[in-house]
Amino acid sequence: MKLKDVFEKSVQFFKDKKIDTPRLDAELLIAHALKFDRVQIYVKYEQPLSVSEVTACRELVRRRSQGEPVAYILGEKGFYGLLFNVGVGVLIPRPETEAIVEQALNFITKKKIENPRILDLGAGTGCIGFSILKNSPLAKLVSIEKSEQAFAFLESNLSKLELSDRATLIKDDVTKFEFSLLEPFDIIVSNPPYIAKNDPMTEAMVKKFEPSEALFANNNGLELVMKWSVQTKELLKSPGIMLFEIGHKQGPTLKQHFEGLKVFSEVQIIKDLSGLDRIIKSVR
């Protein structure tokens, strides 16, 4: 069987299974199975495949057809120009979360912060904090993550990105952590669990494969954003910025909450490209 036959059948199979991006997914998975770059699929389109190569491709296609995320199958996900190790038990980085990194870096530049200290709450893969570090050479980071599985990915990404000398990882529950042990921070960031448990917009495959403790929170998804902001508000320097990713309908309620903390001079809701509430930015 030729490569083109396996590829074209995979694309059609994904279309039949209502996979959102059938050609892209087929490219990524087949290239991964055959251990070469996506572009090589078209260079080697007429190339015959061995039985073992066909079997390897089919296995990855089968997994994707059952809803398993491409990032879990590949074991990595791109975020802010970097590749992060991912897998079962850790939230997959999303492009919309990159807005937190942008806001943090803009703040560092605007305020001319020479040695920024950053706190990442519920860090997961570390994609937010580590991306800031990679783009701010003098920054230092403290990341807190309670999940055993997620913490393993946090550690592996720290090593992969060679940031061990500038980041401290703490395995603990943010809600129970004694923050008085830490020095103040210029920037506090978080992509916390913020989805309401009964939110009908949550995709079935996201619920099935990604860790529920990284997705859902009580009080219509508001519980942890509110708790964590109260816990850490006094840790923020002046000037300082707190950036949380939030749910698409949570802006007005959380704006009122953050303004009620009486420590911020500015509270702003930042929308994503779809016009939905995405980030709450609070400046001290």
State pLDDT tens for residues 218-277.
898 999 999 999 999 999 999 999 999 999 999 999 999 999 999 999 999 999 988 999
160-186 per-position pLDDT tens digit: 999 999 999 999 999 999 999 999 999
Q: Sorting pLDDT into bands at 50, 70 and 90, what band is 202?
A: confident
DSSP structural state of residue 147: -
Three-state DSSP at 214 gives: helix
Contact 154, 145 (CB under 8 A): yes
Query: In this predicted model, which residue has the larger pLDDT, 8 or 195?
Result: 8
**What are the DSSP calls for 15-47, one per residue?**
HHTT-SSHHHHHHHHHHHHHTS-THHHHHTTT-
- pLDDT tens digit sequence for 91-133: 999 999 999 999 999 999 999 999 999 999 999 999 999 999 9
Position with higher pLDDT, 220 vs 158 = 158
Tell me what the pLDDT averaged over the chain comes to. 95
Quick one: CA torsion of 138, 191, 106, 86, rounded to 10 degrees?
A: 60
Integer Cα distance of 246 and 94 in angstroms = 13
DSSP lists the bridge partners of residue 269 as 280
Residue 201 has pLDDT above 70, yes or no: no
Check residue 91 and give its pLDDT.
97
Residues 6+ apart with CB under 8 A from 227: 175
Q: What is the C-alpha separation between 98 and 162, in angstroms, rounded?
A: 20
List, in sequence order, the alpha helices (H) in the chain. Answer: 3-16, 22-34, 39-43, 51-65, 70-74, 98-110, 127-134, 148-160, 204-209, 223-232, 251-260
Q: How far apart are CA 190 and CA 145, in angstroms?
A: 11
For residue 200, name the pLDDT band (cuts at 50, 70, 90): low
Greater pLDDT, 221 or 200: 221
Q: What is the pLDDT of residues 17-62, one digit of tens each?
A: 999 999 999 999 999 999 999 999 999 999 999 999 999 999 999 9
Cβ distance 163 to 92 under 8 Å?
A: no
Domains along the sequence of the chain with CATH: 3-66 (1.10.8), 77-283 (3.40.50.150)
Binning pLDDT at 50, 70 and 90, where does residue 188 land? very high
User: Residue for token digits 């749910």?
Assistant: 247
CA distance linking residue 182 with residue 250, whole number of Å: 29
